[in-house]
Structures are given as structure tokens and as C-alpha cells.
Amino acid sequence: MLSVKGLSYYYIPDRIILKDISFELASHDILCLLGPNGTGKTTLLRCLLSLNKMKSGSIEIDGYDYTRAPPKKRAQMMAYVPQATTMAFPYEAREIVLMGRVAHLATGSRPTCKDRKFADGAMEQLGILHLSRYLFNEMSGGEKQMVLVARALAQQSKILIMDEPTANLDYSNQIKMLQVIKSLAEKGYSILMTSHFPDHAFLACNKTALMRDGVIMAQGMPDKVVTTENLSKLYATPVCVTKAKLDSRDTETKVCIPLMN
């Protein structure tokens, strides 16, 4: 569905932030973008969302030039899930989710009964309909993140861009969020997520891209890309990727372990 080719970006010409970024994201794909702080991950997301105008390259969705689409059309094609944050006003959860319907409303018009059904359906899909009347700013981090995902689903965009969807969540809520992401991919969504936890690539994703200094060092299946050598180079610190046996299931999984002196 999503094809990015040769994307480059800079604020000033002699300081390139992103250089020749290319990747593809099909239906059912979950691409985990890994990289250290300050390497350009957020800037890449902003370029994909047209918040920053790329200097060269192309972004196509099903062969359509996404960058030439009007804002409302772009919002119908791609949705953004930011890290959980606070709102300036005391909105209820349902009101936040209903904001996702703006992409389908005429300028100045009010949400219809149909829009409210889409919002309620998105919350029901994630099992949070009971939180409809709760104030967003008074929710836990995990609840807030679920509401923001529901808002993206109400937007009816099949491509989801998620900026560290498990950031600031406890261990249990991290796993719940990864399970939600996997279930959405199974339903046909295409998902690009950034993360600071390489293990997430093994737990939930079928594709991984490693970015450092604005360049994609490697990309492909997690088993091939998330290796001891690649991670140690990516984060400039010793990391060991090894196998752990899950006794309860009699299976093995890969884990990433930082090596401390």
C-alpha cells in the first residue's frame, strides 16, 4: 500500500537529516523502526504525514502520489498515533475519538449520528467503550494510548503511523498495546511504529528497519536484521541477541541483552 522511495530532508542544505530513505509497507505489515535518539525517526514520521515537506523522493499509496493529495484526502489515507499526552481542554474519551471523523466532515459541519457510530465502533473494537465518558487527562497512560489508537481507527485510514506507542507504559500495558497492533495488522492495517525496544521487533513485527544518522542501515525480517552485530553498531554500545527458551510453551524466542561493563 505504502511505497517510499529516495526520501531526503534537511533544514539547511549542508546538514542532511534524512538521506535516501526507501521502504515499502503492504497490507498486514508491521514495520518497526529502530534507532537512537536524534537519528531522524520523528522527522521521517513528520515527512510521511506532510508536516515536513521532503526535499526529494516520493511517497505513494497504491500508486497514488500522496504528497499531491489535499489535506483531507491525506488524512483519509494515513492516520497518526502520537505518544500519549495531555489535552489543553477537559475532553471526554469519546470526544477525542470523535475527532478522528474530522477527515470526513465538510468544513464547519458537526459530527452526525453516523460519525458517532464510527467512534463508538472504534472504541468497542479496542474494548474501551466503557471509558467513553472518562476525562482524557485523568486516564492512565495505557488508557490514553488506547483512546488515541481508537481515534486513528475512527479516521478510517488503513495506514497507521505510530510514534513509540509503548512509551511510558508499564510492562503489562506494553504487551497489551503490542497485541492490539498485531490484531490490527491481522485485519488488514499497515502499521509503521517507532520503538526504543528492539525486542518489540521479535514480539510483534514482520519487518524491521534500522536507522542511524538519517540513513537506513538495514531492513528486512527481524530475524535477519536484528542481530548482535547490527544492534551494537546501531546504538554504539555492546548488545547481544540470543535465544531464550520458553518452558511453558517449549519454544524459543530471540531477546536483546545490553552488555554492561
Under the banding of pLDDT at 50, 70 and 90, the label for residue 217 is very high
Global pTM exceeds 0.85: yes
Query: Using one digit for the tens of pLDDT, what is the confidence trace for 15-66?
Result: 899 999 999 999 999 999 999 999 999 999 999 999 999 999 999 999 999 9
For the ranges 9-23, 180-194, 240-254, the lowest mean pLDDT is seen at 240-254
Task: Check if the beta carbon of residue 204 is closer than 8 Å to that of residue 166.
Answer: no
Residue 115 pLDDT: 94
Residue 251 pLDDT: 82
Residue 211 pLDDT: 97
Residue 109 pLDDT: 87
Residue 117 pLDDT: 94
Under the banding of pLDDT at 50, 70 and 90, the label for residue 244 is confident
Query: Using one digit for the tens of pLDDT, what is the confidence trace for 88-102?
Result: 899 999 999 999 999
Under the banding of pLDDT at 50, 70 and 90, the label for residue 196 is very high
Comparison of pLDDT for 260 and 55, the residue scoring more? 55
pLDDT at 107 > cutoff 90 = no
Query: Using one digit for the tens of pLDDT, what is the confidence trace for 75-86?
Result: 999 999 998 788
Comparison of pLDDT for 205 and 245, the residue scoring more? 205
Alpha helices of the chain — where are they, by DSSP H?
41-48, 71-77, 93-98, 113-125, 141-154, 171-186, 199-204, 222-225, 228-235
Query: Using one digit for the tens of pLDDT, what is the confidence trace for 133-163?
Result: 999 999 998 899 999 999 999 999 999 999 9
Under the banding of pLDDT at 50, 70 and 90, the label for residue 261 is confident
What's the mean pLDDT when you consider all of the chain? 93
Q: Where does residue 25 rank: exposed (0-12), middle (13-18), buried (19+ CB within 10 A)?
A: buried
Residue 106 pLDDT: 85
Task: Check if the beta carbon of residue 191 is closer than 8 Å to that of residue 31.
Answer: yes
pLDDT at 247 > cutoff 80 = no
Task: Check if the beta carbon of residue 81 is closer than 8 Å to that of residue 163.
Answer: yes
